[in-house]
């Protein structure tokens, strides 16, 4: 399982979930810096900085709500609506507003979207191509940096 995080967000809180090891992976899609500490320090850290514990609970609650929404979508919505929800979620969470719309400014493949929506690469490609033809979205190919 993998999750999306925005700059400054907490992730990988195994101790807060009473889980060892943590049941997900963090994958950076752009150059990032992650700060970590041994999980044995969790209790002392939260005791010293209670706001950290509050923020952790808020983050976990938001994640639970997000998981519930995604499960409902997978059970009740067709593939096109699931893809639409995923694109809108990403635009809301990580998009930046520009003159031509909202840009998701990190590498995102059609395979990533397929995995996020529990559908196939073929289905996502068909849906996104249809939306591009209708000029609802504009896709750009990633270019290698030098």
36-45: list long-range contacts, CB under 8 Å, 24+ apart.
36/12, 39/14, 39/15, 42/15, 42/16, 43/15
| DSSP helix/strand/coil, 69 | helix
Predicted model pTM:
0.68
Q: How confident is the model at residue 141 (pLDDT cuts 50, 70, 90)?
A: low
Residue at a domain's end among 18, 44, 76? 76
pLDDT at 2 over 60: no
Beta-ladder partners of 2: 25
Owning domain of residue 125: 79-146
Identify the DSSP state of 41: G
CATH number at residue 117: 1.10.10.10
Is residue 114 assigned to a domain?
Answer: yes
Is residue 3 assigned to a domain?
Answer: no
Q: What beta strand segments (E) does the chain contain? A: 95-98, 101-104
Q: How confident is the model at residue 70 (pLDDT cuts 50, 70, 90)?
A: confident
> Are 41 and 61 members of one domain?
yes
Share of the chain residues as helix, strand and coil, in percent rounded to the nearest 5: 50, 5, 40
d(CA 80, CA 86): 10
Q: How confident is the model at residue 59 (pLDDT cuts 50, 70, 90)?
A: confident
pLDDT at 66: 85
pLDDT at 143 over 70: no
Is residue 1 assigned to a domain?
Answer: no
Q: How confident is the model at residue 146 (pLDDT cuts 50, 70, 90)?
A: very low
pLDDT at 93: 82
């Amino acid at each position: 399982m993998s999750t999306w995080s925005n700059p400054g967000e907490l992730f990988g809180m195994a101790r807060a979930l009473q889980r060892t090891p943590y049941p997900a992976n963090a994958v950076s899609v752009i150059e990032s810096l992650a700060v970590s500490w041994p999980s044995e320090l969790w209790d002392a850290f939260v005791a010293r900085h209670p706001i950290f514990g509050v923020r952790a609970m808020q983050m976990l609650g938001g994640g639970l709500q997000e998981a519930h929404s995604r499960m409902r979508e997978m059970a009740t919505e067709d593939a096109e609506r699931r893809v639409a929800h995923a694109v809108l979620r990403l635009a809301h969470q990580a998009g930046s507003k520009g003159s031509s719309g909202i840009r998701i400014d990190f590498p995102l493949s059609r395979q990533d979207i397929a995995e996020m929506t529990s559908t196939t690469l073929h289905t996502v490609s068909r849906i996104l191509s249809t939306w591009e033809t209708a000029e609802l979205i504009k896709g750009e190919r990633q270019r290698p940096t030098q």
